[in-house]
Amino acid sequence: MSEIEIEPISNQNYHVVSKMVGELLTEIMDAINEKAFNYIPSETERRVKELVEADKYWVFMAKDRSSGEYVGFVSVYESYALYSEGAYGTIPELYVAPDWRSNKVGSKLLKAAMKFAVKKGWHRLEVTTPPLPEFARTLEFYKSNNFKISGGRKLMVSINA
pLDDT in tens, the chain (161 residues): 579 999 999 999 999 999 999 999 999 999 999 999 999 999 999 999 999 999 999 999 999 999 999 999 999 999 999 998 899 999 999 999 999 999 999 999 999 999 999 999 999 999 999 888 899 999 999 999 999 999 887 777 888 87
Residues 6+ apart with CB under 8 A from 19: 41
Sheet holding 86-96, edge to edge: 4-8, 58-64, 70-81, 86-96, 125-127
Task: Please state which architecture CATH assigns to domain 4-144.
Answer: 3-Layer(aba) Sandwich (3.40)
78 residue type, one letter:
E
> Packing angle between helix 14-32 and helix 41-53, nearest 10 degrees?
120
Global pTM?
A: 0.94
The CA distances from residue 66 to 3, 135, 139, in Å, are 7, 31, 30
Q: Where are the alpha helices (DSSP H) in the chain?
A: 14-32, 41-53, 105-120, 136-144
Q: Is 105 helix (H, G, I), strand (E, B) or coil?
A: helix
Q: Please tell me the predicted confidence (pLDDT) of residue 1.
A: 53
Q: Tell me the C-alpha distance between 105 and 72, whole Å.
A: 7
The CA distances from residue 58 to 51, 92, 155, 157, 161, in Å, are 8, 11, 24, 25, 26
**Exposure on the CB side of residue 86, measured as CA atoms within 13 A:** 4
